[in-house]
Chains A and B, each alone.
Chain A
Amino acid sequence: MDKETLITQLKEIVKPYAKNEEALLNINENTDFVNDLKINSANLVDVVLDVEEQFNIVIDNESMERMLNVKSAIEIIEAKLGAQ
């Protein structure tokens, strides 16, 4: 799966939680979930659960802590998918 497809899928996942629509529209590798998209930090666990469901992967606690932006999310998803 290429990066663009991954970002498009991530965009759909974070859409219900993102409070900043402009940042969501311009989502890219450098987008931060809390600072840019203004996602409530409590909702980050929901984003992780939705990612797990979408890609059929399990994200461990250490990875979960790191998953604060698009870049780390892509890294984690790619690593988990690669390990399957």
Chain B
Amino acid sequence: MAEALSIIDLENVVVRFSGDSGDGMQLAGNIFSNVSAVLGNDISTFPDYPAEIRAPQGTISGVSGYQVHIGTKKVYTSGDKCDVLVAMNPAALKTNIKFTTPQSIIIIDTDSFTKKDLEKALFVTDDPFAELHICNTVIDAPITSMCKESLKDSGLDNKSIIRCKNMFALGLVCWLFNRPLEHAMHMLQKKFSKKPTIAEANIKVLTDGYNYGHNIHASVPTYRVESSETQKKGFYMDVDGNKATAYGLIAAAERAGLKLFLGSYPITPATDILHELSKHKALGVKTVQAEDEIAGISTAIGASFAGCLAATTTSGPGLCLKSEAINLAVIAELPLVIVDVMRGGPSTGLPTKSEQTDLLQALYGRNGESPLVVIAATSPTNCFESAFYASKIAVEHMTPVILLTDGYIANGSAAWRIPDLTSYPEITPNYVPEGTENWKPYNRDPKTKVRYWAVPGRKGFEHRIGGLEKDFLTSAISTNPANHQKMTETRKAKIDYIATCIPELKVEGNEDASLLVVGWGGTYGHLHSAVKECNQENKPTALAHFNFINPLPKNTLEVLSKYKKIVVCEQNMGQFAGYLRMNFPGLEITQFNKVEGQPLAVNELKKHFIKLMEE
């Protein structure tokens, strides 16, 4: 059994914690990713949970998962398949087996594999492994009973004791990957700072889990993932996309010297932005939990009129409800940031799963000619940058900006280097200059077409705006045909001009390849990884990934027309591909589309790219 102590060095490891939605898998996964990040690994996480808060215990629909990808180098995705699967019950094993390979190690809680448990998970025999054709290495750990044994003298009631079993699993995984427990203990102390007995119990079970792994000399090697060398020096924290979005908005308000206002209505998976911003009263952030989605955006429009950096946050169904109000911001030319954390649709769809299906809604889902800016964030940490630039554009160009993130990057987390805000550009609101005479509300900068902003409270600039078309010169209500044409063209020109203020499209990978992979938003990690792997295998591939959707970077056509083959990869049925075709009619574009509510798989992408090259 001495070989059990052998240590294997790895570059990347993916661990998937899965169990009942009440089993605390999100916490176990979160602590594991944090512990790894503190050790200097790069991390990317993917919480995969059901829409129900507590589906019937032990059933397939109640399974909750949390996948962590840790690496010595930068990791871009949460990983296609896991190296270790923790399955706290048969339902978790059944639903997550598709995320394993024959080499994956599976850890199960044998106490939860009774006949009754197997029946709940709809197994028809008493051998779930044979039934699922599993030949993997399985660590059979009596997690529940060990947890009970560990806490028998704690004085806690049975329910509280059982709730600690996730920590036993975490301890076992920490042992497997040689993770010291100090930081995990610290996190538990902080989390349960008001319940010291619970903190102590969790720490005891965590330690016992770790020691259990060591003591059983399980016939599996343990792994070491060295600290990442590629990361820059500095202070880091763990951040998910929703938090990063909230911080980006705060940062922008700070750089613009504006108060931040959020009007929002709770909706999965966007609500955490509201939660986060509601905490920061000390920074002067005002949040209104409105009576509905429409009031969420309407309060934000009111706050924008008042001179705030105003935002509203939502997901697809909420974006539908907000469309009329977005148009008010378009015609009134007020700054506004609308964050849409995309989820599976249509209608209520797949609330906790991720898709990119709101793109055309964001671009065109309003009456009239209604141009606005659409930006898409590419990763959890990029949500910060994207929210910052969405705000900057909104305020400087007096326009609503829709920022598209998605459930995958909103809930996925990564290690984030705390930015130096002074290295970010200033944000300069386009206020009516002092001393302006005979000003009218729709007077605009002749070059940028941006109207000047006069905020209520400022003497001498009292004015009226509204949803009716206005005269280009006098700003009075106008139904003049030529004027409407001119105002429509002006609103479009204002948005088009923004193309000169955003970064040009860059190509990654092998620029001289004949195949160009095109993506946008939250699929960046998977596309980057797939393209990188193709290049490593001597299959030249290039990648152009879009952050800015409307307007498109001004060199878009120039870049795209260099390539013999283009494949646009999206988690929808081809919305961006269609948008590119409409903008650049001559381009030959092929598509790769998936709408399974799950992240794209690197391997599948790679196979598709190689097939395209060979055609």
Chain B associates with chain A: no
B-side residues, CB < 8 A to A, are: none
